[in-house]
Amino acid sequence: MTSDPIYAGDSALLLEVGEPAIEPESNARAIAIARAVRQRAVPGVRDVVSTFRSVAVFFDPLSTDVDSVAAALHDAANASPADEPGRIVEIPVVYGGEAGPDLAEVAVFAGCTPEAVIERHALKLYRVYMLGFLPGFVYMAHVDSTIAAPRHATPRLRVAAGSVGIAGGQTGIYPRESPGGWQIIGRTSLTLFDAAKMPPALLAPGDQVRFVPVKDAARTLTVREAVREAGREGPPRTSRSITVLRPGLLTTVQDSGRWGYQSLGVPVAGPMDHAAHRLANAIVGNPAGAATLEATLLGPELRVEQETRVALTGGDLRATVDGAEAPAYAPVRCPRGSVLRFGDRRDGIRAYVAFDGGVALEPVLGSRATHILSGLGGIDGRPLKAGDRLPLGPETKPGLVFSRHVKTKPGFQGVSGARLRVLPGPQADHFERSALDALQRTRFTISPQSDRMGYRLSREPGFAATSYQRPATGRGEMISDVTFMGGLQMPPSGDPILLMADRQTTGGYPQLAVVITADLPVAGQLGPGDWIEFEVCRRADAIAALIAAEGKILAVR
């Protein structure tokens, strides 16, 4: 069974292949279709991702026609592309003890000895269905039903790199230290993901894995250590640079994002307010994808080591240069040794700082964007800290100064909240038809437990819970699928999670709606305590809004 492509907002399509279950046949077909779409090299396509039983295509709606993308998907599906058999990879695993703290618990679940669990786990040959959650994290099946223990009710805050886990009928390997809820029964010494290699992931969809019990294993390298071993200990030396005197609350290096690797579980990252990021680059004459700094709430203190031009956009955090107020949305000359500081927030929560020439750190997988959970991009994949030195690229020609009549916050609707336009999500059929109507009648508040990965939303008092009832078509529990920036995930609680720039590439909650691209910059300037309402619109409205927003950026260039 192959469905018609489903819109996932205004910049992605999702093609469902086979039944909503973990089946080798559907997965093989999804992998083959994704490979065929990549080979077609459709202009404007940014990423192609295969999952358990679907294919997602991410594209730029301003540089390609959605019909062309849909046609490429249809052609690939109808061509019945052949499945190419994957490799068989043996993974050495130390089971039990410190390496496998949940082995005894799984044995109790199975009603057998720990030795029997090891034997049953290592006996099978597992198919790699997809990668997600973290770069290099592989979802494999099927675990022997007798040892298919469910996830922990409360996830661990720290699971060691290389940990081998069980979650129901699936088994997987954690490529780096992270939170996680799987039952950990062992650990491998192999490096699952190394950003300095190509391909960076050890395993790929379609591969087969056999676990081999061993007595001892060396420590697994983290992504950050792997990058260092490749000679990327720190930023390269250049003649122009910025020194971080104070880092601020959360300041990261961001560019247009790490596209092309979501099929390996690598998040895109990039700016929360992509419009402000692009405008800052335009004002100082940089390419649209040059790296800027994203400052959150409390900005950094930066010393300019050589004369440079700076542009400040996005949230107004009261920027000054050597004590004099620095105008937003205009090029600002910073003499050698001058200090750029930020004060109290006026509005918005994220400010963008572009330097002519851009921040010239070494790219990781083609991007300088910082993704903290994965440890990728920026400086060692982390926020800036005092003493960091940021190299700048070659000086560029000055951009044009913004006219006085242009709003300093294009599209921004205020500091206390916003009404965001959405399109029906890729899993809208998991809900009653009334769910989208209920969503539009509800006001939500952004929880303090929100970050660049996503906003956790709670209903304001007086608003009824959004319906979370599966329709009478009998659709079962959703298996993990592709996530989309602006996707509105609905956990069983009915309190949505609005996925943002650092979202994981896959998730297990259905996405009822997707915020349109033109309104994502508005969402990116909201913070804890701000309210959000949603309004369903047409795709034509979404594209018209995006064209209008693009026009403002092109006017600067």
pLDDT in tens, 152-164: 988 899 999 999 9
CA distance 378 to 438: 41
CATH topology of domain 6-78: Gyrase A; domain 2 (3.30.1360)
| Three-state DSSP string of 312-323 | EEEEECCEEECC
Q: Minimal CA–CA distance to 308: which of 238, 347, 263, 355?
A: 355
Q: Minimal CA–CA distance to 247: which of 292, 295, 291?
A: 295
If you write DSSP's letter for every residue of 298-366 in order, what string do you get? S--EEEESS-EEEEEEEEE--EEETTEEPPSSS-EEE-TT-EEEE-S--EEEEEEEEETT-B-PPPBTT
pLDDT at 222 over 50: no
Q: What is the pLDDT of residues 79-99, one digit of tens each?
A: 877 777 889 999 999 999 999
Averaged pLDDT, 336-344: 96
DSSP 505: S
Q: What is the pLDDT of residues 25-67, one digit of tens each?
A: 999 999 999 999 999 999 999 999 999 999 999 999 999 988 9
pLDDT at 485 over 90: yes
Averaged pLDDT, 310-319: 96
Domain boundaries, the chain: 6-78, 88-227, 241-391, 417-556
Single pTM value for the model: 0.90
Q: Angle at Cα 305 formed by Cα 303 and Cα 309, nearest 5°? A: 85
CA distances, 516 to each of 259, 347, 513 (Å) = 19, 22, 9
CA distances, 522 to each of 344, 502, 518 (Å) = 20, 16, 8
Phi, psi of 76 (to 5 degrees): -65, -40
The residues near 294 (Cβ < 8 Å, ≥ 6 apart) are 251, 252, 253, 254, 271, 272, 277, 314, 350, 351, 352
Q: What is the pLDDT of residues 176-188, one digit of tens each?
A: 999 999 999 999 9
CA distance 468 to 460: 18
When pLDDT is cut at 50, 70 and 90, the band that residue 413 belongs to is very low
Averaged pLDDT score across all residues of the chain: 89
Domain 88-227 -> CATH class: mainly beta
> Is the link from the previous residue into 510 a cis peptide, with omega within 30 of 0?
no
Averaged pLDDT, 164-174: 96
By the 8 A CB rule, do 162 and 173 touch?
yes
Q: Do 6-78 and 417-556 fold alike per CATH?
A: no
The amino acid occupying position 56 is A
Residue whose structure tokens are 């050495």:
92
Q: Minimal CA–CA distance to 114: which of 102, 126, 99?
A: 102
Superfamily in which the 417-556 domain is placed by CATH: Cyclophilin-like (2.40.100.10)
- Count Cβ atoms below 10 Å from residue 101 Cβ, excluding itself: 18
When pLDDT is cut at 50, 70 and 90, the band that residue 555 belongs to is confident
